[in-house]
Structure 1
Amino acid sequence: MVPITDPLSFAEVLRRHRHAARLTLEQLSEASGVSARSLSNMERGRSRGPQHRTVTALADALALDESARKQLIELARDGRLRDHWTRPTGLCALPRSVGDFTGRAAELAWTNDLVRAGASPGAAGVGLITGPAGLGKTTFAVRAAHALRSEFPDGVFFLDLFGMSPHPVAAGEALALLLRALGVADHEIPNDVPERASLYRSLLEGKRVLVVLDNAASEEQIRPLLPSGSHGRVLITSRRLLAGLEGVRRLSLGPLPVAEATELLAGIVGDRSASDGEPALTQLAQLCGGLPLALRIIGNRLVSRPGWSAAELVARLANEERRLEQLSAGDLKIAKAFGMSYEQLAVSARRVFRRLALVPGRDFDAALAAVAGGISAEDAWDALDELVDLGLLQDGASGRYRFHDLVRLFARDRLQAEDTATERDALIETVTSWLLRMATTAGRWFEPAYGRPDRPDPDLAHLSSPEEADHWLRVNVDNWLGALRHMASIGRFAAVLDCAESMNWFSDQWMHAPHWYEVFTLGAEAADVLGDPARQAKQLNMLAWVHLVPREDLETTLRYTAQAIDLATRSGATVQIALAHHHAGGALRRLGRIDEAIAAETQAAQIHKANGDMDRYCHCLGALGTCLRDAGRHTEALEQYLALLALLNDDRSGMTPSVAAFLRPIVLARVGECLGSLGHRAEAITKLTEAIGLMEQAQLPVPQARSLETLAALLADEGRTGESRHAYARAAEVYEAIDDAEASSRCRDLAAASPQPPKAG
């Protein structure tokens, strides 16, 4: 037997072996059982890759040795591979790309990077695109595949894995579909899944192919479908995060920005966008929450109903109760898209999902989810993970979760459909009561006499320090404020008043928060209904503070203090009488009525001292110093501040340490201001610098910004221009942080206007 060593085709090698064996086609056909016609097609190159069993039959009939036998089998295999890549099948064809595709420039750049990035040996470049329902993951992947088509001369294939259906495509079935698309005949497809995967990978080896695996259900479904070579690329889309997939690059698709959403909507409605107007289309885009599916539904509705205007549809969508109904056009329904994800959830996760719709604020944590779901914190974490995995919740920083606006409406719809009215009312009571008790407990951490509770409420989240209480109140403000409103609306006035009173001292920590007027108004109304004039006076005093400090509405401050004094006098609440005089003194001072202000502050100080309330007494002493300063009596003001500073530094004064720590940097800054006004600039700069450092530590941005501005002016007067410019710039930053844009701009201008210090030499 003559061995064949030249790199010839299967046809040529077979013909040489037949001639060497001195057999005709008919004789080889009779010996092998392969038809003469098939043999003729093989030798003429029409059949370049006969099946393995056919080739082994020919090798047996030709009595080939092991080397020649192996060569013939491998040539047939190579021929089959070439057949697969040249045989058109029309299977797994890439869908068309929509003509009005809009935006996603950064995301498309990500797919370009994926294609061009070098893959590690033995691993295909795999991109995983995840996101909730309605974000256009499939549309995006198809668009990207069309844009990249020229990079893949060996083919682009698309397969829908039906990941959200009750019966996703099994890995074996998916492999069979892909193998058929690659030209493998049904009878050649192995029965075993690993063998199918092996054949699939061998067919793709060395080929520039892009495979789009759409709507994946799980890691187990995907893993057998990933090629092993470094030439091909795979794009996977899934609502699930598929966190178990290793070695993939991930892209989380989000809603379209308003501008791109409006552009997409304008592209869908076409020429009529001019008559509808951009403002109305922008409103529609916002109501759709940037979800491409919702935008397409709304656009299709407008196109199919020429008599409708975008403004009319805006009015319809503005009604939250019916918004999901309006987001429907033919077989496109936003609720149906969300529903497919909802059906994937375990029963317990469904319950948590729909009940979270009753949370008053925009976001929440696992502790609140546990309360809403009536489950343990551990089970709540599991449910939240499942909801995030399916895109029904978005997770953010520090363990906070939130709904997309339309998903929240879907959750509310499911709650209405699956929970009874009695169950819903009980749940609202549970959630709002818990939130209000948490807020009240957190607020009391800032009361001077408050200590760690001996028996904390076991139903509440644990707070172990003022810092934790501060954090909880700030991040949950929408939730506890919503609970406060609800409790007021159903007549739970005692709980409302308790919560409002607990915010008395905490409000100093967050004095420029916008909600204090509402909190203390609800508190005052609750006290009025409960017939408690002393507590009502306390809430009116807090409203006087709101208009004195954050709002700077001085006449309104005086109206509230007058009401508080009347109520407090009738009820004998001397503390509230003193507080009202103190707030009135602050308003009168700012109105330039200094003598009246001094009289009011003096009266307040006397009452507090008689009551043994050193904390409030010292507040009034500081206010008296400020009155003297504003009157231009700087020497007297300095003496007043220095005496107060001595009290603050005296451990035997009876002051609460936390209150002393709060007042100390403020009074120290006032000392510096007075020294500066009296011409002692060097000493003033020292005092102000020390005060600013203490304010930084105590997180007192409002007095810190003012003190920085005063320091900057003194430094400029001393000729220390570089330090002055730095202080003005720092003051501008702090003013900006507390949303005082006017003061921030003023300080930036002063920093820029300060002369540059002369260069040395």
Structure 2
Amino acid sequence: MPDQSFGARLRALRQAAGLTMEQLAEASGVSARAISDMERGHSRAPQARTRAALAAALGAGADALAGDVPARTDGRPRTHDLPRAITDFVGRNDEIRRVRAHAATDGTGPAPVVVVHGQGGLGKTALALRAAGELAEAYPDGRFHVDLRGAESGPLPPGEALMRLLRALDVAPRRIAGDDDERAGQLRDALRDRRCLLVLDDAADEAQVRPLLPGDGRSLTLITSRRALAGLEGVLRLPLAPLAPHESAALLARIAGQAADPASAADVGTVAGLCGHLPLALRIAGTRLASRPAWTVGHLVARLADEDRRLAALTAGDTSVEAAFALSHAQVSHAGRALFRRLGHVPGPDFGLPIAALLTGDPGPDRDSGSGHALDRDSGPGRGPGRDAGPGGGTGRNADHDGGTERGDDLLNALDELEELGLLEPAGPDRYRFHDLIRLFARDRLRREESAGARAATEQAMSRRILETAIVAGRWFEPGYGAPPDGWTGLVPLPSQDDAAAWLQLEAENWLGALRVLAAAGDDQLVVDTAEAMHWYSDRTHYWTGWYEVFGLSRAAAARLPDRRQEVTHLNYLAWAAATCVHRTDEGARLAMEAHDVAVTLGDLREQAWALQYAAESWRRAGAPERSLDAVRRAVPLADAAGDHDSYVQLFQRIGVVLIDLGRYDEALESFRTTLRELGRRPVAPEPALGARTGAHTFAALALARAGRWPDALREAERALPLATEFGGNSLLSLAHLVRGRARNALGADGRDDLIRALEHMEISGYHKYEAEARAELSA
């Protein structure tokens, strides 16, 4: 029964103080509406904090309004009580700051609403309760929590949620309307003059929460949901992301003492990474560690390292990461679930619509790739013109890039559904990625729901389609090819060399992953053909460490094929990648000389010349310039006799670079002039000709700078820059800008802009050889 004595005492004290309800409300921070309800006995006695605020405003003693607070004996759930907040909360400072700022209102407009959304396990409820606790003083009329069960099979009906909130606000059951719309109106009326905080936890959708929102006033509503609830207007949305690495480490340290040991910092970082910095996963991992005092953090690393068992290991009692994901997965449509599990085939960290489109529809038997990747090889195994014009036309089908077809619309709808439920994350326009643990969940669903044969067929068909496009993209840079042949269709249009380069860079992890799949499946010729098509493109991106794996796979595949000329070619490619991309110079030299010996056996002069060139580069990088110079000079007559004009002109450029290392600048300049003369005499293909011309002018500028001939160095750098821009090599661009910047400084001009641009291109390309020189010049 309502506490009549409390209301009577409150009224008497207010009147004795000569205060109106509005004046008492202003002095105490308790709303006039709440004070009115208390005095009339329409609400129960308030919490101790509210009683103390009223007593202080009335000038009464602390015990003036104490006592006579009846215990609740009706057995009804206290929906106004917030759940117990966690005591080891970490991070989310920016989100709480934004909640606090959004909550600051004068009460003259709509009451503020915040939607905290994201995938399962991100700690949405923990954040809402943390914010509610920090803002408690601002809401003296009550803080209420309702679990809406939105991720479960039976969400709480809005009418039932309204009933619970009205009863928590002490609206008598007999006065609560039977109609949901009327109940919503009663809730808005009850909250209009109060300062309450509502936590509407785990909302299913907009229709469930819209009736529960206050109208005007100072009450604050915090909604948590796996969905963004985009249909709600005028709300602050806070999308949660995984924790930062240092926050993950701090959370583990607060939960488990072993993780607080500075000596375990490296293992703690590994555990945090294996948990994907997901708060739920970190909490489970930390709890498992804390409950096993004999374990070190290293034990936990070992338990989580196996991808196939990681989700099972992230279970503690009745809490598991897999169960949290399964709640979202259960809400996805049949078509969305099929796409979700098949996206587990995608090898890279993210993907776009064309690759996703390969995984729609029913998995069927693997297609015969046929002429889609077969190549008619010429008499030489390597780098020159004369290849077949490209893969057979019509072997591929266009993905619905623009989503304009019915199939494209279905794909976009399924992807939007997965993103809305937090099972996919946006990674750019029409591009998506998995959280690491959700990727494992998708692959687990794939293993459970599709047969091994269907999985293999889908994965290999997807991989072949990706590599078909990769081959044509790579051939934009290869002499004798260029634009795709008429009638060719692929995953994406490739109308220009720039488009091809952009696709190869964007999808590098996906086409490399596809190469791994088909190497494991034994499709050796396709592996070799893909690497062959990438050879000239690799020169532009030679600081990507992935080339070592690409050419390692192609070398192994070529060794299993009957044509030994393919083997020696790809052995040479691997030698180049070992020395240039991963800086394993000893291995590079060994592989190059192994290729040289095989080429001698085969009588292949061209591959002998390339092998000596790659060995020379390895020795130069290893600090043996004299040995390098001897090898590259031995290669010159071999390339000439083989008629390999592309290699021949590059060799003089390489000789010049070694001569710069030896401090023989005049000889180096003569070698670069020889490169330029031979380009005018020999039928060098356009792409290698541009590369050789760009390199000759760029390194000539460097030689002049080393010789202190600054006016000549400036002129040569200015010749090199437009060529380097056209060629598109960031490493040569960085060097040309470096020389021009230094020359301008030496000649009394300002070279700062050039030096800054040099560093920018070094950062893009990963080419850091001259970085210290650029920074020293900038700081001089």
- TM-score bracket, normalised by the shorter chain, equals 0.7 to 0.9
State the partner residue of 1:383.
414
- Helix, strand or coil: the match of 1:503? helix
Residue 146 of structure 2 aligns to a residue whose secondary structure is strand
Structure 1 726/412 Cα, relative in aligned 2: closer, same or farther at 3 Å?
closer
> Which one scores higher on RCO, CA 8 angstroms, separation ≥ 6?
2
| Residue 142 of structure 2: aligned partner | 155
The answer on 1:410 being equivalent to 2:398 is no
- What TM-score do the two structures reach when normalised by structure 1? 0.81
Distance 1:277 1:635 in 2: 56
Q: Are the equivalent residues in 1 in contact too, given 2:545–2:582 (CA < 8 A)?
A: no
Q: How far off is 1:346 after superposition? A: 0.3
- Worse-matched range after superposition: 680-689 or 560-569: 560-569
Matched, 1:108 2:139: no
Question: Shift of the alpha carbon at 1:133?
Answer: 0.6
Distance 1:322 1:696, change over 3 A: same
Asked if 1 retains the 8 angstrom alpha-carbon contact of 2:524 and 2:558, the reply is yes
Q: How many pairs were matched up?
A: 675
Aligned to 1:188: 175
- Counterpart-to-counterpart distance in 1, 2:300 and 2:629: 61
Distance, in Å, in 1 between the alignment partners of 2:333 and 2:774 is 57
Aligned to 1:532: 563
Residue of structure 2 aligned with 1:297, choices 284, 292, 305? 284
Determine the C-alpha separation between the residues in 1 that align with 2:616 and 2:559: 26
CA root-mean-square deviation: 3.3
Task: State the partner residue of 2:531.
Answer: 500
Secondary structure of the residue aligned to 1:401 is strand
Q: Residues 696 and 184 from structure 1, CA distance in 2 versus in 1: closer, same or farther, beyond 3 angstroms?
A: same
**Residues in 1 aligned to 2:259 and 2:729: alpha-carbon distance in whole angstroms:** 55
Q: Which of residues 648, 652, 658 is equivalent to 2:687?
A: 658
Residue 776 (structure 2) pairs with residue 749 (structure 1): yes
Pick closer, same or farther for the CA change 1:294–1:678 going to 2, 3 Å. Answer: closer
1:639 deviates by 5.0
1:199 to 186, 190, 193: 186
1:338 aligned residue (319, 322, 325): 325
Aligned to 2:49: none
Moved more, 296-305 or 441-450: 296-305
Give unpaired runs (5+ residues) of structure 2: 12-32, 47-71, 73-77, 363-406
**Cα separation, partners in 2 of 1:307 and 1:714, compared to 1, 3 Å:** closer
2:730 corresponds to which of 698, 701, 718:
701
The amino acid across from 1:229 in the alignment is D
Contact map agreement 2:476 2:484 (CA 8 A) in 1:
no
| Corresponding position: 1:467 with 2:498 | yes
Structure (1 or 2) with the larger CA radius of gyration: 1
Q: CA deviation at 1:631?
A: 6.6
The one-letter code of the counterpart of 1:233 is L
Larger displacement relative to structure 2 (504-513 or 354-363): 354-363
Distance 1:387 1:574, change over 3 A: same
SS of 2:626's equivalent in the other structure is coil
CA distance in 2, matches of 1:295, 1:594: 53
Cα gap change, 1:604 to 1:292, in 2 (>3 Å): same
Structure 1 SS opposite 2:116: strand
CA contact (8 A) 1:132 1:392 kept: yes
Distance (Å, rounded) in 2 between the aligned partners of 1:549 and 1:333: 46
- Distance change in 2, residues 1:631/1:318 (3 Å): closer
Which of 589, 600, 610 is residue 634 of structure 2 equivalent to? 600
Query: In the alignment, which residue of structure 1 is the partner of 2:455?
Result: 424
Deviation at 1:350, TM superposition (A): 0.9
> How far apart, in 2, do the equivalents of 1:389 and 1:322 lie?
27
The alpha-carbon distance between structure 1 residues 152 and 479, as it changes in their structure 2 partners (threshold 3 A), is same
Contact 1:124 / 1:230 at 8 angstroms: preserved in 2? yes
**Aligned runs of 1:232-311 on 2, under 5 Å?**
232-269=219-256, 279-311=266-298
Report if aligned partners of 2:259, 2:265 keep a CA contact under 8 Å in 1: no
Contact conserved, 1:726 with 1:751, CA < 8 A, in 2? no
Q: Does the Cα contact within 8 Å between 2:714 and 2:739 map onto a contact in 1?
A: no
Alignment TM-score, normalising by the size of structure 2:
0.79
Report the alpha carbon displacement of residue 173 of structure 1 after superposing the two structures with TM: 2.3
The CA distance in 2 between the partners of 1:338 and 1:591, in whole Å, is 58
SS state at 1:211 partner: strand
Query: 1:280 Cα shift?
Result: 4.6
- Compare the two structures and name the one with the higher helix fraction: 1
* Residue in structure 1 matching 2:334, options 337, 341, 347: 347
Match of 1:681 in 2: 710
Aligned to 2:81: 93
Distance 1:628 1:473 in 2: 35
Give the C-alpha shift of residue 351 in structure 1.
1.3
Counterpart AA for 1:226 = L
- Give the AA of the match of 1:607: A
Q: Could you say what secondary structure the match of 1:505 adopts?
A: helix
Check whether the contact 2:128–2:199 (CA below 8 A) recurs between aligned residues.
yes
Query: Contact 1:355/1:411 (CA < 8 Å) preserved in 2?
Result: yes
Given that 1:579 and 1:604 are in contact with CA atoms closer than 8 Å, whether structure 2 keeps it comes out as: no
Q: CA deviation at 1:364?
A: 1.8
What amino acid is aligned across from residue 751 of structure 1 in structure 2? L
- Three-state SS of the structure 2 residue aligned to 1:451 is coil
Structure 2 CA distance for aligned equivalents of residues 673 and 314 of structure 1: 49
The answer on 1:399 being equivalent to 2:430 is: yes
Q: CA deviation at 1:746?
A: 3.6
Alignment partner of 1:91: what SS? Answer: coil
CA gap 1:551/1:388 in 2 versus in 1, 3 angstroms: closer
Q: 1:292 to 1:272 in 2, by over 3 A?
A: closer
Structure 1 stretch displaced more, 622-631 or 404-413: 622-631
Mapped contact 1:732–1:745 kept (Cα < 8 A): no
Check 1:232–1:671 CA distance in 2 against 1; reply closer, same or farther (3 A cut).
same
1:511 aligns with 2:545: no
Given the superposition, is the C-alpha separation of residues 83 and 224 from structure 1 closer, same or farther in structure 2, using an over 3 Å criterion? farther
Change (3 A) 1:712 1:604: farther
CA change 1:235–1:591 in 2 (3 A) is same
Q: Is 2:394 the partner of 1:360?
A: no
Displacement of 1:624 in angstroms is 4.7
Contact 2:226–2:421 under 8 Å retained in 1: yes
- Which string of whole-angstrom CA distances, capped at 9 and with x for unpartnered residues, describes residues 43-96 of structure 1? x999x9xxxxxxxxxxxxxxxxxxxxxxxxxx9xx8699655556784332222
Distance 1:281 1:579 in 2: 47
> 2:115·2:237 contact (CA, 8 Å) conserved in 1?
yes
CA distance in 1, matches of 2:583, 2:204: 58
Distance, in Å, in 2 between the alignment partners of 1:45 and 1:467 is 82
Q: CA deviation at 1:368?
A: 1.6
**Structure 1: where are the runs of 5+ without partners?**
1-40, 49-74, 755-761
- One-letter amino acid of the counterpart of residue 544, structure 1: A
Q: Percent identity of the aligned residues?
A: 39
State how far apart, in whole Å, the 2-side matches of 1:149 and 1:387 are. Answer: 36
**How far is 1:709 from its partner?**
3.6
Structure 1 counterpart of 2:581? 550
Letter in 2 for 1:687: E
Mapped to 2, the partners of 1:502 and 1:645 lie a distance apart of: 27
Partner in structure 2 of residue 138 of structure 1: 125
The 1:420–1:549 alpha-carbon spacing in structure 2 relative to 1, beyond 3 Å, is closer
SS at match of 2:277: coil
CA 1:553/1:337 → structure 2, altered by over 3 Å: closer, same or farther? Answer: closer
SS of corresponding position for 1:127: strand
Q: Is the 8 A contact 1:582 1:604 kept in 2?
A: no
Aligned amino acid, residue 567 of structure 2: Q
* Residues 585, 600 of structure 1: 8 Å contact kept: no
The equivalent residue for 2:393 is none
Distance in 2 between the 1:257 and 1:299 partners? 16
Change (3 A) 1:654 1:106: same
What SS is found at the alignment partner of 1:592? Answer: helix
Equivalent position amino acid for 2:570 in 1: Q
